[in-house]
């Protein structure tokens, strides 16, 4: 599998050889990750073990969201991986929220559920739009 990601006019990265995408703020985002939703294995001990295994095998990008209702289990697997030697600063945590208005209350709660001091990127899944 090979495809190019457009960074800016005239520049691209071959995703088959790139492991990280440089971000404008100076950070880097792993090009591949694991989505933590939408199946039976995204709940309970299965998701905890999946996160732990993914990180111990070298994965570094976790895609989560409030909707998935599994941040406690994800956080447990994440903390276990860190305890086993995976550096937190190598892990890119990307949670998503549905509404901008809810984010200020949700982010502190999500950090507590994950058991981390920070996440690397917070996304809006789909912003709520008032049609009036």
Catalytic residue annotation: 68
Please give the sequence-ordered ranges of beta strands (E in DSSP) within the chain, or none if there are none.
4-8, 11-14, 20-22, 28-30, 34-35, 61-65, 92-97, 123-124
- Strands 20-22 vs 28-30: parallel, antiparallel or unpaired: antiparallel
CB atoms within 10 A of CB 131: 3
- Strands 11-14 vs 20-22: parallel, antiparallel or unpaired: unpaired
Dihedral sign, Cα of residue 92, residue 97, residue 98, residue 104 = negative
Tell me the C-alpha distance between 119 and 106, whole Å: 13
């Amino acid at each position: 599998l090979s495809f190019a990601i457009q960074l800016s006019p005239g520049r691209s990265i071959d995703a088959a050889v790139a492991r990280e995408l440089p971000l404008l703020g100076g950070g880097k985002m792993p090009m591949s990750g694991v989505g933590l939703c939408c199946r039976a294995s995204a709940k309970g001990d299965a998701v905890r073990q999946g996160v732990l295994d993914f990180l111990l095998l070298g994965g570094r990008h976790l895609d989560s969201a409030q909707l998935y209702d599994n941040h406690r289990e994800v956080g447990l697997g994440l903390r276990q991986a860190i305890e086993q030697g995976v550096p937190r600063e190598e892990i890119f945590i990307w949670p998503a929220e549905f509404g901008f208005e809810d984010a200020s209350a949700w982010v502190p709660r999500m950090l507590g559920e994950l058991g981390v001091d920070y996440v690397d990127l917070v996304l809006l899944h789909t912003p709520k739009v008032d049609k009036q």
